[in-house]
Amino acid sequence: GTFVKKGDLCFDVGANVGNRVGPLLSVGARVVAVEPQPGCQRVLRLRFGKRITVVPKGLATKEGTMQMHLSENHVLSSFSKEWIDAVKSARFNNTNWDKTITVPMTTLDTLIAEHGRPHFIKIDVEGFETEVLGGLTSPVPWISFEYTVPEQSDKAVACVEIIHRNDPSARFNYSKGESMVVALDQWMSAAEMITHITGDVFRSSGFGDIYARGAGH
């Protein structure tokens, strides 16, 4: 988006094969791509080479290892069995998650200690957003995370609450589907956003990204 400019450090969490990396590089951002799937890591290195830093790990609330459930197409792989069970019955009933791999996990706080404070963190991790954000204990200017409603409304609320805890002045907005265009004229407080998430208008949007903007941005 336009809020990222030349030289800004961005964390792409759940980079997959890099669909969001290209646009960030094109504005001159520095990109740290966090991607736990070996197949996707290979694609990222082939596509972008030395222009990005690939972190071959997952993100959670603490360091360690976790089992990741892989989907055939890599796009829907997840650390969250609960998320898989929720979407398997509805959205993706012909997808199989028949393979698991053990993945090293780190935290956003650790990544910040290693790479510096990012201007923007993009999170796209199939139902694991609260765990990723749970590993962050300080404010960041811009954060976006994917939402799925109505199945995961409570997850979206929990993410807003975590961001608010780190940055009480953060304001929120969202974009529907793949549009990347913000839906609300006015950015909302955490409390207003939580009320909005539980309402019918938002619930009918299906999926998209919620944006959080820190004070002074």
Its pTM stands at: 0.94
The interaxial angle of helices 190-197 and 153-166, nearest 10 deg, is 180
Cβ(140)–Cβ(121) below 8 Å: yes
β-partners of residue 70 are 99
Q: What pLDDT is attached to residue 5?
A: 94
Q: What pLDDT is attached to residue 87?
A: 79
Cβ(64)–Cβ(41) below 8 Å: no
- Which DSSP helix (H) or strand (E) runs through 184? none
Residue 205: both structure tokens together: 């949007």
Q: What pLDDT is attached to residue 16?
A: 94
Cβ(27)–Cβ(5) below 8 Å: yes
Question: 3-state class of 207 per DSSP?
Answer: strand
* In the chain, % of residues over pLDDT 90: 80
Cβ(55)–Cβ(21) below 8 Å: no
Q: What pLDDT is attached to residue 151?
A: 81
Residue 130: both structure tokens together: 């609260």
Q: What pLDDT is attached to residue 48?
A: 97
Q: What pLDDT is attached to residue 128?
A: 94
- The strands making up 99-106's β-sheet, listed across from edge to edge, are 58-59, 99-106, 64-70
Asked if pLDDT for residue 1 goes beyond 70, the answer is no
The tens digit of pLDDT for each residue in 94-106 reads 788 889 999 999 9
Cβ(103)–Cβ(55) below 8 Å: no
Q: What pLDDT is attached to residue 75?
A: 82
| Cα separation, 146 vs 126, whole angstroms | 8
| Cα separation, 81 vs 79, whole angstroms | 6
Nearest to 24 by CA among 44, 52, 55: 52
The tens digit of pLDDT for each residue in 186-212 reads 999 999 999 999 999 999 999 999 999
Confidence of residue 85 (pLDDT cuts 50, 70, 90): confident
The tens digit of pLDDT for each residue in 108-136 reads 999 999 999 999 999 999 889 999 999 99
> Phi first, then psi: what are they for 216, rounded to 5°?
80, 5
Count of CA atoms in the C-beta half-sphere (13 A) of 108: 27
CB 143: neighbour CB atoms within 10 A?
A: 29
What is the secondary structure of 97-145 as a DSSP string? Answer: --EEEEEEEE-HHHHHHHH---SEEEE--TT-HHHHHHT--S--SEEEE
The tens digit of pLDDT for each residue in 153-193 reads 999 999 999 999 999 999 999 999 887 789 999 999 999 99
| Cα separation, 82 vs 136, whole angstroms | 22
